[in-house]
Amino acid sequence: MKFPILYSFKRCPYAMRARMAIKLANIRCEIREIRLNNKPEHMLEASPKGTVPVLILEDKIIDESIEIIEWVLDQDNVFEGNLNQNQVVLSEELISIFDEKFKYHLDRYKYAARYNNANSDKNRSQCMEILIELNQIISNKKWIFGESINKLDISILPFIRQFRIANPEWFDMQVSIHSVKRVLNNFLESELLNEIMINYDEWKEGSKPEYFPIFNLSD
């Protein structure tokens, strides 16, 4: 295997966070963009649970986004020295909150019709409670804890982006999360996001290989 193989879906927040880590570390992969309603057999053989991202290495398969980030950091810890120990601990706590609680309520806010008895407004309020708590700890810098992007930023900002997409006008009016909105805006305008959201053709067996990342990213 010349390069690791990364199965991905452009808009999936889990796949986005994995691509950001890979991009920041400039680890070249063969990227295979899929459609969630037409999952390739090769991906399903590698990871029967059928979710993205899936990273196929010479010696193992990683099919959890946070574990892919950790693998990337083992190769090149691009965040080393950016945070103190208290911030590292808090980052892990916040990532767990977003992966478990925020994502649960986000799905039932955005896609209420898919869930029995889901109340969109109630679930939106639950998401807002988490964002208000996050707002209180955000620095006055570019990213959540300072001028340098960190694991926490790449792990949770794709989900906050989704939350805004559900109703941008309403989101932009929320003064109680002004710092969250500022950091999200920095993310939305970042070169990093632009680089990881490049369009790739849907991968099919026999497709010509496509590679990610395309360009080096120094900032």
pLDDT in tens, the chain (219 residues): 789 999 999 999 999 999 999 999 999 999 999 999 999 999 999 999 999 999 999 999 999 999 999 999 999 999 999 999 999 999 999 999 999 999 999 999 999 999 999 999 999 999 999 999 999 999 899 999 999 999 999 999 999 999 999 999 999 999 999 999 999 999 999 999 999 999 999 999 999 999 999 854 443
Beta-bridged to residue 29, according to DSSP, are 212
Spatial distance between the Cα atoms of 175 and 211, rounded to a whole number of angstroms: 41
Structure tokens that stand for 135 in this block? 């707002």
For residue 5, which of 31, 24, 36, 43 has the smallest C-alpha distance? Answer: 31
Spatial distance between the Cα atoms of 63 and 77, rounded to a whole number of angstroms: 20
Q: pLDDT tens-digit profile of 24-63? A: 999 999 999 999 999 999 999 999 999 999 999 999 999 9
Spatial distance between the Cα atoms of 139 and 128, rounded to a whole number of angstroms: 19
For residue 68, which of 57, 59, 79 has the smallest C-alpha distance? Answer: 57
Domain boundaries, the chain: 5-78+198-212, 85-188
Answer for the pair 180, 135: CB distance below 8 angstroms, yes or no. Answer: yes
85-188: what CATH class? mainly alpha
- Quick one: pLDDT at residue 218? 43
Q: What is the DSSP letter of 56?
A: E
- Quick one: pLDDT at residue 2? 87
Which amino acid is residue 124, in one-letter code?
R
- Quick one: pLDDT at residue 64? 98
3-state SS, residue 144? coil
- Quick one: pLDDT at residue 217? 43
Answer for the pair 206, 32: CB distance below 8 angstroms, yes or no. Answer: no
Answer for the pair 181, 188: CB distance below 8 angstroms, yes or no. Answer: no
What is the per-residue DSSP string for 171-195? Answer: HHT-GGGHHHHHHHHHHHT-HHHHH
For residue 126, which of 103, 94, 142 has the smallest C-alpha distance? Answer: 103
Answer for the pair 37, 30: CB distance below 8 angstroms, yes or no. Answer: no
Answer for the pair 164, 111: CB distance below 8 angstroms, yes or no. Answer: no
Q: What is the pTM of this model?
A: 0.95
Q: In the chain, how many H helices and how many E strands?
A: 10, 5
In terms of C-beta distances under 8 Å and separation of at least 24 residues, what long-range contacts does 60-65 make, across chains too? 65/14, 65/15, 65/17, 65/18
For residue 196, which of 213, 218, 216 has the smallest C-alpha distance? Answer: 213
CATH number for the segment(s) 5-78+198-212? 3.40.30.10
